Amino acid sequence: MSNEQPWSPQNHPGPPPYGYPGGPGYSGPQPPMGPPLAEWWERLVARIIDGAVFMVANIIVSSILFALFVPLFAVSAYGVLAGPGLFLLYLVNWVVAGLLYAGYDYFLHARSGQTLGKMAMKIRVAGVDGRPLSQQVLLRRAAAYPGAFALIGLLAGLSWSAATLGMLLAVGLSVADGVPVITDQRLRQALHDRFAGTVVIKAP
């Protein structure tokens, strides 16, 4: 029985063998050179921090929207929230929130490759091929997640049952998007990373 260890940069000098990422015969995305990939838990904590920051911002925006529009079309004769106007208000609020979150994601990554959560965890977004991130790549990434929440909002504002379904879809999307970070042992890409061609690495 052979004691030869599988190829890795640490135990085998020289270029990778045929078919291995970075070697001849490999046509898939190349792993980034330089800083190591971020751990899944670092990305999770960064996302929680970003979510908390955005939750505060969304409460402020929602309060403004409700203060402006509830008296106009969402108050019944009994002085309570009711009617189609109420669902329209929820729809607008959810869509605006999704667009704001996508804008937050895009503009901060365009500035430094880091959101506030990533700054706290000392990780950042990078191109899977090591090239600088373009605006197109960052727009694709932000549109896939969290921008998809804006589309869910179009459904959630239709009725109470649709709002419940929208919440379930939002949770399901977050879980489905994040699971590959744990299962993808090579590049640790979330679904929106694969869509945009990005990875998350430890900040130097």
22 or 150, greater pLDDT = 150
Segment 153-160 mean pLDDT? 77
pLDDT in tens, 72-100: 665 555 555 555 667 777 788 888 889 99
Query: What confidence score (pLDDT) does residue 17 get?
Result: 56
3-state SS record for the chain:
CCCCCCCCCCCCCCCCCCCCCCCCCCCCCCCCCCCCECCHHHHHHHHHHHHHHHHHHHHHHHHHHHHHHHHHHCECCCCCECCHHHHHHHHHHHHHHHHHHHHHHHHHHHHHCCCHHHHHHCEEEEECCCCCCCHHHHHHHHHHCCCHHHHHHHHHCCCHHHHHHHHHHHHHHHHHHHHHHHHCCCCCCCHHHHHHCEEEEECC
* Residue 23: per-residue pLDDT: 57
Q: What's the pLDDT tens digit per position in 157-202?
A: 777 787 788 889 999 999 999 999 999 988 999 999 999 999 999 9
Rounded Cα distance between 90 and 161, Å, is 13
Strand partners, 81: 75
Are 123 and 46 contacting, i.e. CB atoms less than 8 angstroms apart? yes
Q: Looking up tokens 């945009």, which residue turns up?
A: 196
What is the predicted pLDDT for the residue at 41?
96
